[in-house]
A and B are shown apart, each in its own frame.
Chain A
């Protein structure tokens, strides 16, 4: 009797242990120090959202979108946050990944100028030299989109490198403007050194998808339940971040990781619009594809079928 009780207790303990076993996941992000990328995954960790959904998630940040997709292809990460401007060329050209959810619809790029310069309105951008991270990239195309829609002639584009290099050129007069996001420019804006003269968002076709959740096709096919739990955990984290309860946590994290000042953190927080349902609009993906084809970021033959770029089965 005593032996059977002990055996029963041992069996119960083993089954409880296996029930508590968490699925280990490496979650990548295209960039390390952008709040849109790190807030959801860190909220998932800190608030126990991943654990509640049976997941043990390690955050593996990359230094660029292409590096993230390479990490996906190499199996170093299974799923992560990226942006459509990188996803669509990568997937279209054969990367074994697929967009599984919308992370944030808007990316809030703008054309920023020095407050000491001669440019005060969008029309003053005529003939201006605009810095972009690289020619034929997304920022370059955004600049051309604004020029086209706002009928500004003569804007020239130059590759000004990374954020620091671009800001140095802007402040020293090497360029007249730069295409960047508010979260990158906020400190200079609050110091009164730069101002935004054009919001790219106003000129983009709608609907649009900017930040995405992307997964390896292999992972989605072989572990759909785990993929679904990761996606829903991130969406739950987004809901927390955008809630009144989550705002103080988010502000504290932005100050800790991005070293935003007390004034900058709330300003950046107000710009975030993380998706709570992750729903992907086919028309939004098509708009991004058409935009990229129009501005020669990809060839039409690279993406023959828009439906191969994404799946909405996890967020219906």
Chain B
């Protein structure tokens, strides 16, 4: 593929293929509704969805703020606790070997089955949203922190000690740089897990937030508005991931 093409054409070919795939998807989506393959009660056309995007965003501005506040609280809490516990466990090889399988179990257990109990434990306001979001981000992040501990080479630590580095210097100059790539990928995983956790609880239980907006629009069959709200949610998630990516590039620029 790409033979007989100019370097410029070869450079932009992947982008062109991606754009074409998206365009084909949108055309099929639009035809599915207009030709009656799918009842418009259950699927809005792309144009209807876009037309409703701005009004839905304006109407849901307060709920958007609620979701973002809950997400940031959940993400920061989950990551902070994961870093603290992960680093503490990494101080000893024995504790890492003992606790890693148990914490991995926490990742695989479907926490959504505990949702009904969350009302009993945390009430019906924002607390169950934040706690579930934090839990969703905590487990993958703590596993990543513990795994990142394995990236630190023992001979590098030995060399640093031999050169007279103190514990804090060893952490700053050897341990943290070695762990950073795995920690950053853990941050992305925790970010999306927290976002998903917040949205799931809002969808199932909450009165406010984007999840609650999507739920109410679905139940009242405002199909175009509902798809616009889903598109808004997806856009927010993409924006958050891009912000995180740029932040990681900025703070990790010493590595390049």
Contact = CB atoms under 8 A, between A and B. Distances in A.
B123 A76 contact: yes
Interface string A21-46: 00000001000110000000000000
Contact of B221 (A71, A74, A187): A187
B42 A164 contact: yes
Nearest to B215: A63
A76 B207 contact: no
A278 interface: no
13 contacts: A33-B216, A33-B220, A60-B124, A62-B205, A63-B215, A67-B116, A67-B205, A70-B120, A71-B123, A75-B123, A77-B124, A164-B218, A168-B39
A258 interface: yes
A163 interface: yes
Given A74-B119, A164-B221, A62 B124 contact: yes
Contacts of B42: 164, 168
Nearest to A28: B124
Contact of B123 (A33, A74, A187): A74
Interface string A163-194: 11001100110000000000000011000000
Contacts of A73: 120
A33 B219 CA distance: 8
Given A33-B216, A168-B42, A76 B125 contact: yes
Interface string B192-215: 000000000000110100000001
B222 interface: yes
Contacts of B1: none
Nearest to B125: A76
A171 B36 CA distance: 13
Nearest to B42: A168
Interface in A40-75: 60-63, 66-67, 70-71, 73-75
A259 B222 contact: yes
Contacts of B207: 32, 60-61
A167 B41 contact: yes
A7 to B, nearest CB: 42
Contacts of B216: 32-33
Interface string B104-137: 0000000000001001110111000000000000
A67 B204 CA distance: 10
Interface string B133-172: 0000000000000000000000000000000000000000
Nearest to B207: A61
Contacts of B123: 71, 74-76
Contacts of B124: 28, 60, 62, 67, 71, 74, 76-77
Contact of A74 (B41, B120, B219, B220): B120
Given A61-B207, A67-B116, A168-B42, A163 B125 contact: no
Nearest to A258: B220
B41 A171 contact: yes
Contacts of A28: 124
A187 B116 CA distance: 31
Contacts of A172: 39
Nearest to B203: A63
Nearest to B219: A33
A138 B226 CA distance: 29
Contact of B116 (A60, A70, A167, A258): A70
Given A71-B123, A73-B120, A259 B205 contact: no
Contacts of B205: 62-63, 67
A187 B219 CA distance: 12
A265 to B, nearest CB: 13
Interface string B217-233: 01111100000000000
B228 to A, nearest CB: 15
A76 B221 CA distance: 29
A33 B217 CA distance: 10
Interface string A255-277: 00011000000000000000000
A162 B216 CA distance: 13
Contacts of B215: 63
